């Protein structure tokens, strides 16, 4: 589909037209979505603005198989399921398209992963299967050429030692971590990180009291002596 190539291109494109193209593609090829639109009595031909595009309820990804056309899924990603017993599912036909998506975004904002030491602090995600976040982090780590790149589960002492060494080497480092784990690390091992980009994702997952994003970023900025915190968010349903 032409709109896919536009979306992943670093070149400017007409977002409105691309969004409408995606809507019509989904309406024609996604049976569940088409039936939902018909139940709302939405005339697809009359959808000529982004605001008129119906959004499929998140709950449908728990109760229905949501795909465009029928296919054998290469991988099935699942939501974290923190507050529910039934997880949402995302059936991926082509894992290459998923990789193209996050690689294009990473290269646009950060350059080549090969130039970074990439450290992932993702407890609760590593301990379960079918996490798109773990898959993304793993692929980026594989593209990194640094020997210290990798996953850190619960060994915060080792993480502190690794980051201290990287800071002394002035190595450009990305620390991507689930919010509650980053806060735990910040409280136990406050340290200045002048050569490290801190990226929070995933939320509290029931491990800590919920905080606003501003509160989380204020704590991390203060304890790590950095000017800003980066964020990465995704949803199985998106």
- Percentage of the chain exceeding pLDDT 70: 91
3-state secondary structure of 196: strand
Does the pLDDT at position 1 exceed 60?
Answer: no
3-state secondary structure of 210: coil
Those residues with Cβ within 8 angstroms of residue 27's Cβ, 6 or more apart along the chain or in another chain? 33, 34, 37, 44
Spell out the domains of the chain, with CATH numbers in brackets: 1-56 (no CATH), 105-231 (3.40.50)
**Residue of 39, 8, 7 whose CA lies nearest to 20:** 7
Most confident option among 24-38, 128-142, 205-219 = 24-38
- Digit-coded pLDDT (tens) for 26-79: 999 999 999 999 999 999 999 999 999 999 999 999 999 999 988 999 999 988
Phi first, then psi, for residue 45 (nearest 5°) are -70, -20
| Residue 70 to residues 36, 75, 91, 175, Cα–Cα distance (Å) | 18, 14, 10, 38
* Distance of alpha carbon 32 from alpha carbon 39, whole angstroms: 11
Q: What is the DSSP-derived secondary structure letter of residue 117?
A: E
Tokens of 219: 């704590």
């Amino acid at each position: 589909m032409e709109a896919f190539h536009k979306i992943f291109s670093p070149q400017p494109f007409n977002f409105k037209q691309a969004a409408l193209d995606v809507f019509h593609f989904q309406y024609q090829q996604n049976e569940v979505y088409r039936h939902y639109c018909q139940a709302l009595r939405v005339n697809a031909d009359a959808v000529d603005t982004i605001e008129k595009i119906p959004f499929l309820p998140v709950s449908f990804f728990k109760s229905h198989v949501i795909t465009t056309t029928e296919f054998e899924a290469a991988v099935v990603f699942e939501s974290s399921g923190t507050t529910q017993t039934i997880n949402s599912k995302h059936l991926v036909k082509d894992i290459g398209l998923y990789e193209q998506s996050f690689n294009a975004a990473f290269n646009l904002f950060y350059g080549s992963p090969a130039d970074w030491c990439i450290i992932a602090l993702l407890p609760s995600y590593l301990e379960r299967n079918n996490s798109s976040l773990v898959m993304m982090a793993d692929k980026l780590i594989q593209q990194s050429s640094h020997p210290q790149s990798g996953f850190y589960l619960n060994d915060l002492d080792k993480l502190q030692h690794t980051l201290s060494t990287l800071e002394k080497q002035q190595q450009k480092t990305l620390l991507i971590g689930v919010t509650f784990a980053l806060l735990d690390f910040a409280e136990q091992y406050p340290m200045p990180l002048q050569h490290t980009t801190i990226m929070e994702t995933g939320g509290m997952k029931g491990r800590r009291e919920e905080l606003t994003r501003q509160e989380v970023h204020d704590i991390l900025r203060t304890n790590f002596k950095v000017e800003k915190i980066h964020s990465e968010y995704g949803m199985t349903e998106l």
